[in-house]
Homo-oligomer: A and B are copies of this chain.
Amino acid sequence: MTVAPRRQPTLEEVAERAGVSRSVASRALNNAPHVSPAKREAVERAVRQLGYVPNPTARALATRQTGAAALVVSGEDPSIFADPFFAQVIVGASTALEDADLHLMLCLAASDRGRKRVEELLRSKGADGVLLMALREGDPLAGMAEEAEMPVVFGGRPVGVAPRWYVDVDNVGGAREATEYLISRGRTRVAAICGRLDTEAGRARYRGYRDALLGAGLDPLPPQEGDFTEPSGAAATAVLLKQHPDLDGIIAANDNMAAGALRTLRAAGRAVPADIAVVGFDDLTVAQVADPPLTTVHQPITALGREMARMLVAVINGHDPTPLILPTRLVTRSSA
């Protein structure tokens, strides 16, 4: 019964077949008012018979809305994206965007080429809004985003400034709680393997560590910087062991580095948690799989993505939502 036409049917043809004008057909499709039930029905029938699907591009041109939001992940090279963290953000963002009927474009601003394309996207309004993540200090993307007259929601704050719209996790609080936990269990010589200090997350987590130690009247160690990868955690631990042989606790700025720490400690013959307690941050799969399973600061990553997307949708719809800080929670397993 349904005729398979060569070219895609257009709204014009639908209208003709339904015996109405294009405008009425359009209104019927977008169930806008001012369409009599009879014609609405006729249009629907014609749509069904013709197998009509509206052309998103034409619609976009007319409405000046692309129907898509971009998730931009900044970084020096694409491998940053291999962190399972982003996958979870995407899951959250994707479902929220789906609810708003927006598509998700993914932009890895890793290469120069990638950054250039993001800039073009921003300037050409190639999306209705942008979710911006993993900015480092002095990242040119921050400025571009500012200039672009486009809704931008930040995932995690950029270093130093607080943008108008962002969703972040309570990094300071989480790190503080973890460190306090270590202290409460009698650890007194606790070091921090912190993430890159050119990211706000790296800094904030170190601050949380420092605050906790100072609060307990203990001396914080200077930051031992890693880059959020497992090898960097292993390397940092080696350095720490050499510098402070009497260490009895390590708090890492993420689970990957904590896993690296476990590896080095195992190789060095230090028992975890008997000799040294280790705490991670993120609560990704690796924390559960590690041996021993990691005590870690859980952060609601999927919720982060979801709330970012929701906030973006709100901004797109003309609202002015307030920034959001998501809570963290310490998950105790056996590494501390």
A residues in contact (CB < 8 Å) with B: 1-3, 8, 51, 53-58, 60-61, 66, 68, 78-79, 81-84, 86-88, 90-91, 94-95, 98-99, 101, 103-108, 111, 113-114, 117, 120-121, 123-126, 149, 230, 256, 259-260, 262-263, 266, 285-286, 288-291, 318-319
A108-B91, A126-B56 are contacts. A82–B82 as well, Cβ < 8 Å? no
Which residue of chain B has the shortest Cβ distance to A290 in the bound complex? Answer: B289
A81-B91, A86-B87, A266-B291 are contacts. A104–B107 as well, Cβ < 8 Å? yes
A103-B107, A106-B106, A125-B8 are contacts. A259–B289 as well, Cβ < 8 Å? yes
A81-B90, A81-B91 are contacts. A58–B56 as well, Cβ < 8 Å? no
A279 vs chain B, min Cβ distance (A): 17
For the complex, would chain A's binding face be called helix, strand, loop or mixed by DSSP majority? helix
- When distances are taken between beta carbons in the complex, the residues of chain B under 8 Å from A125 are 8, 55
Task: Kindly report how many copies of this chain are found in the complex they form together.
Answer: 2
Cβ A103 vs Cβ B104 within 8 A: no
Contact of A98 among B81, B82, B117, B256 (CB under 8 A): B117
A55-B124, A318-B1 are contacts. A95–B68 as well, Cβ < 8 Å? no
A335 vs chain B, min Cβ distance (A): 12
Which residue of chain B has the shortest Cβ distance to A95 in the bound complex? Answer: B78
Contact of A79 among B68, B91, B98, B259 (CB under 8 A): B91
- When distances are taken between beta carbons in the complex, the residues of chain B under 8 Å from A61 are 57-58, 61
Interface centre among A54, A95, A105, A289 (most CB of B within 10 A): A289
Cβ B91 vs Cβ A123 within 8 A: no
Instruction: Add 14 more A-B contacts to A91-B108, A105-B105 (CB < 8 A).
Output: A2-B318, A3-B149, A8-B124, A8-B125, A56-B124, A79-B91, A94-B114, A98-B114, A104-B106, A104-B107, A259-B289, A266-B291, A286-B289, A290-B291
* Cα-based distance from A55 to B65 in the complex (angstroms): 12
Question: A-B pairs with the 9 shortest C-beta distances?
Answer: A1-B318, A291-B291, A53-B124, A53-B123, A57-B60, A78-B91, A259-B289, A104-B106, A57-B61
A60-B57, A106-B94, A113-B98 are contacts. A288–B87 as well, Cβ < 8 Å? no
- When distances are taken between beta carbons in the complex, the residues of chain B under 8 Å from A117 are 98, 101, 103
> Could you write out 23 A-B pairs with CB less than 8 Å apart?
A1-B318, A1-B319, A3-B149, A8-B125, A51-B123, A56-B124, A57-B60, A58-B61, A82-B91, A82-B285, A84-B84, A84-B87, A86-B87, A90-B106, A94-B106, A95-B108, A95-B111, A98-B111, A99-B113, A103-B126, A104-B107, A230-B288, A289-B290
